[in-house]
Chains A and B, each alone.
Chain A
Amino acid sequence: MTAAAHVGPDPAAPRRRAALAVRTGLAGTSELTRLAFRRDRIALPAGVYVITALVAGTAYTFRRLYPTPAARAALAAAGGTNPALRFLYGRLDGDSLGSLTTWRYGIWAGIFAALMTVFIVIRHTRTDEEAGRLELVGSAAVGRQAALAAALLTAAVPSVAVAGLLCLVLPLVHLPAAGSAALALSIGCCGLAFAGIAAVAAQLSASARAARGIALGALGVAFVLRGVGDSDPHTGAAGPSWLSWASPLAWIQLVRPFASARWWVLAFPLAIFAAGTALAFGLAARRDLDAGLLPDRPGRATASAFLHGPFGLAWRLQRGALLGWAVGYAFTFAATGAAAKGVGQLLGTSSALEREIARLGGGQAAITNAYLSAIMLLAGLVAAAYAVSVILRLRTEETQDRAEPVLATATSRVRWALSHVAVAVAGAALLLAVAGVAAGLGYGLRAGSAGSQVARMLGAAMGQLPSALALAAVAVLVFGVLPRACVASAWTAVGLVVVLFLFGQVLKLSHWVLDISPFTHAPRLPGGTVSAAPLLWLCLAALAFSAAGLAGLRRRDIG
């Protein structure tokens, strides 16, 4: 050791570090990371909060709903063996409060963590690159790998934060500390694994949309793999099939956090994260800016006859997303429909849960009908959210100056807006039809009455359409009247309706408040009765909101 070491830090150290950063292409990483945190300062804490609240809230609710070991054992016996529920929620090890929490929301917390990291990584790599921002940043003294490193850091921090917070919060709702730590870490590690996958996806395609599609597709494959593996009833006792072991989402439950934890399983997601990171850095070092590894296929040199007028354009811009939504709807509602067959036995075990389901569905006598009408209500809510996202595309087109060339042609503002509204209406109707048919098939095939169930559930699903359209029309209204605040206010309206849906009756809100939500007026189908008056009023409200929004659009400035 030289004397310098005793006097103070090596004066050459910062310079050496800088030289190393330049050689590895990481120069500027800390600046870019801080920029990313500045840009995501609201979304990051919100994501961490939602995931933590979801898991901790589930543990708390289960404690309240199943206070005795006997009640929990009954739930575990019914829920843990129902193949459809195992498809949706995964496998159940034991009947402790912790095991039930891991079963009910372990995989879903993992999905949310994965969604969070996928969106963060793509947003700070390929999205910036496609928009040309990375070119500007890259021209400064910033290394080739800095953006990728910053994106991975930005995704790793909330993953670690979720794990850390859950370690602290779960023991507060009386879960064992070791099990809490195992569950917390497996959820955090799941987020990290998908950050690694997203980092690779961001190198593959030149389009951020496609890169996001690849990463989310991997998430979907992981869900279905483990769904099939977990729902196999023959492997119930002998342990899950190899299909589950192949899915990063299943690892959360394969850790068995609250039943003699297998900590070594955590090495798998960490290995995926490390391998994905290494591969992504390797690919990034070898490719050009703006280039992908998947070729950009040349398209048509002339437009097809269908790409004609604003309606053809709106359909062209929105069709890919609608297809993805429809596929997601088909899978989800086939599975939730199939789960209806076992719902009767499941609920016999808990009068509290029975009340819970009856609340969501609106107090039908038949529990199965209540369950089915609850999932149809959910289908309607999500279809409304889809329609809102389609309508808000108008604002994106406007702010990104792509509305201008269209409006500078013989296309009136109203026609332009209606082109996207038409996609929203038709898309929401299509999604609800898919939900009805899929749920009808899923339930009907297991109950042995597919034909009649499909017709019944299709009707039930379409009964939600007026409510969904009334909510979507709020987006048209704010787009026309409050353009600057339209994205925030439209999603606030959706959030308000979701809150009323989930907590309205628990909070014992007055009828006047509950009536704000269009879904309060939707028919409770199957099982309930339909009256024409509320549906008519909902349609009138949708028309009135849309007309006011379009009138506002005609009056205001564009841009």
Chain B
Amino acid sequence: MANAIELRALRKSFGQTRALIGLDLTVRTGEVHAFLGPNGAGKTTTIRILLGLLRADGGEATLLGGDPWRDATRLHARLAYVPGDVTLWPGLTGGEIIDLLGRLRGGLDPKRRSALVEKFALDPAKKARAYSKGNRQKVALIAALASDAELLLLDEPTSGLDPLMEATFRECVNDERQAGRTVLLSSHILAEAEALSDRVTIIRDGRAVETGTLAQMRHLTRDLVDAELAAPVSLDGVPGVHDLSVTGTHLRCEVDHDALNDVLARLTAAGVRSLLCRPPTLEELFLRQYSAEDSAERAVAGGQG
């Protein structure tokens, strides 16, 4: 089984609201796949369809080789899920809930459980009522990570964690990857996806707008060049140069990959004092992806109007 998750043209509407309009998503077995998108893009709806909590209106969905709706219970024995907004039973303690969820999944490793409780610094004897959002999230995370599931579905798992615990979480996800488990990580925090994921799918308005490894996605895009020069240089009209801004001898622009050699030659000819050339962060990719779509939509709307 090469793919842990395969979604084709998935559709789901709630009344008039169209949550998913033909979503494609492929998660390969053994990879950490980041599922990125802004609030309301359809990430949680997708995950709930994968869990068989919602029934898709159309399209195909395969989860661990089965049908997420029909084979829900059988498949759930092989996965662990951390909801984005963790609500717990206020009268039960964190420790009781971890054990309960573990038993419901078909058992958890007591050694790993106590190691994780230690690692995440959780007080398992406290009633869930007394936990903060971060602590509630830790309960769900520990329950999921201590299980033997082959697939982890994590819906914005770090939204309540402090930076220290976030680092702990990243360690844990890397351990899971070493152990050969598959992880689908939904997030709107790009640094998290950048640090953890093998491949990324960006979703917007119920549709995947971009998917691939980070390297592949950067290949489609440009490098950022920021240089301090000995003398001013003009890059106006050079093919492959975008968003150029020159202030005296300081130059900043974006350059297509195949134009990079040419641009660097021109810069060194003028004399370089300092040079920064780096791939864009996912953040920048993300922003560009969205602003491009917006302007395209505006253009279409303008054309019709």
Q: State whether these chains interact.
A: yes
Chain A interfacial positions (CB closer than 8 Å to B): 130, 206-207, 209, 296, 298-304, 307-310, 312-313, 316-317, 320, 400-402, 404-413, 555-559
Are B87 and A400 touching (Cβ within 8 A)? Answer: yes
Please give me the residue from chain B that is nearest to A398 by CB atom.
Answer: B53
In the complex, are the beta carbons of B53 and A557 less than 8 A apart? yes
Given A298-B125, A316-B92, A402-B88, check contact A412 B73 (CB 8 Å): yes
**Which among B52, B77, B104 has the greatest number of chain A C-beta atoms within 10 A?**
B104
Distance between Cα atoms of A307 and B102 in the complex (Å) = 11
Report if B28 contacts A (CB, 8 A): no
7 other A-B residue contacts (CB within 8 Å) besides A313-B89, A406-B101, A412-B72: A300-B125, A301-B125, A310-B104, A316-B91, A320-B91, A405-B101, A409-B77
A518–B130 Cα distance when bound, in Å, is 44
Contact B96 A300 (CB under 8 A): yes
Cα–Cα distance between A301 and B96 once the two chains are bound (Å): 6
- List residues of chain B with CB within 8 A of the CB of A296: 126-127, 129-130
Pick from A206, A302, A405, A555: contact of B124, CB below 8 A: A302
Q: Does B103 contact A (CB under 8 A)?
A: yes
- The answer to whether A410 and B124 touch across the interface, beta carbons within 8 angstroms, is no
Nearest CB in chain A: distance from B45 CB, A? 10
> In whole angstroms, what is the CA distance A402 to B87 when docked?
6
| Chain B residues within 8 Å of A304, by CB | 96
Q: Are B125 and A303 within 8 A (Cβ)?
A: no
Q: List 12 A-B contacts (CB under 8 A).
A: A296-B126, A296-B127, A299-B92, A299-B93, A299-B126, A299-B127, A310-B104, A401-B85, A405-B83, A406-B101, A409-B105, A411-B104
Q: Provide the residues of chain A in CB contact with B96, threshold 8 Å.
A: 299-300, 302-304, 307
Q: Are A557 and B127 in contact (CB under 8 A)?
A: no
Say yes or no: is B99 at the interface (Cβ < 8 Å to chain A).
Answer: yes
Interface core residue of A302, A317, A401, A409 (most chain B CB under 10 Å): A409
Tell me what chain B mostly uses at the interface: helix, strand, loop, or mixed.
mixed
Distance A555 CA – B106 CA, assembled complex (angstroms): 25
Q: Which residue of B lies closest to A297 (CB)?
A: B127
Measured between C-beta atoms, what is the minimum distance from B11 to chain A in Å?
14
Q: Which partner residue on chain A sits nearest B113 by CB separation? A: A302
Is B76 an interface residue when CB atoms closer than 8 A count as contact? yes
Residues of B within 8 Å of A303, CB to CB, are: 95-100, 103
Alpha-carbon separation in the docked complex, A302 to B114 (Å): 10
Which single residue of chain A is at the shortest CB-CB distance from B74?
A410
Across the interface, which residues of B come within 8 angstroms of A302, CB to CB? 95-96, 99, 124
CA gap between A350 and B131 in the complex, in Å:
62
A313 near B124 with CB under 8 A, answer no
Least Cβ–Cβ distance between B78 and chain A, in angstroms: 9
B97: chain A residues within 8 A (beta carbon)? 303
CB distance from A408 to the nearest CB of B (A): 4
Partner of B73, one of A206, A300, A320, A410: A410
Q: Which residues from A are CB-within-8-Å of B72?
A: 407, 412-413
Smallest Cβ-Cβ distance to B94: which chain A residue: A301
7 closest A-B pairs by beta carbon, nearest first, are A303-B99, A409-B104, A410-B77, A299-B93, A408-B81, A301-B95, A303-B96
**Which residues of chain A are near B153, meaning CB under 8 Å?**
408
Nearest CB on A from B153, distance (A): 8
Q: Does any Cβ of A come within 8 Å of B140's Cβ?
A: yes
B54 interface contact, C-beta 8 A = yes
Is B248 an interface position by the 8 A CB rule? no
The distance from the CB of A527 to the nearest CB of chain B, in whole angstroms, is 44
Q: How far is the CA of A214 from the CA of B77 in the complex (A)?
A: 42
- Which of A300, A303, A556 has most chain B Cβ within 10 Å? A303
Looking at the assembled complex, report how far the CB atom of B66 sits from the nearest CB atom of chain A, in whole angstroms.
13
Q: In angstroms, how far is the closest chain B Cβ from the Cβ of A423?
A: 15
